[in-house]
Structure 1
């Protein structure tokens, strides 16, 4: 149902920003450029806790450092 899309001008700005911000990481720039082109299907987004459980990672505790 919910799908976030970008118009052509926004797509171009996002692509330029991805290339400028991540020149040493072409894989990350590619992912961001792809999101700009295809948009984001919000109905397919998953919660971080679900992803952690799927990957077998421990639950995040309040004692663990938070990384921004």
Structure 2
């Protein structure tokens, strides 16, 4: 099982960034704070194409505009 965790200094930096960089977006701040606390379980990560299929979205084509 692969699990990415952050040391205490990295956790503090993520939390500080969440609070200062995204004050108008509490959902994004929550996600960053949760990542800092919990880390990332790489075994549970899913590919964007899998998520797209699960949500019933069309496949990405080269003709479609790319959104950053």
Q: Do these two structures clear the TM 0.5 threshold for a shared fold by scoring above it?
A: yes
Residues 4-48 of structure 1 deviation map (CA, whole Å, 9 limit, x = unaligned): 000111100001111111111001100111011100000110000
Note if 1:11 corresponds to 2:16.
Answer: no
Give structure 2 stretches of 5+ with no counterpart: none
Q: Report how many residues are paired.
A: 68
**TM-score if structure 1 supplies the norm length?**
0.93
CA distance in 1, matches of 2:28, 2:4: 20
Instruction: For residue 59 of structure 1, report the CA deviation from its aligned partner.
Output: 0.6
**TM-score if structure 2 supplies the norm length?**
0.93
* Structure 2 partner of 1:59: 59
Question: In the TM superposition, what are the counterparts of 1:1-40 in structure 2 within 5 Å?
Answer: 1-40=1-40
CA RMSD of aligned residues (A): 0.8
Give structure 1 stretches of 5+ with no counterpart: none
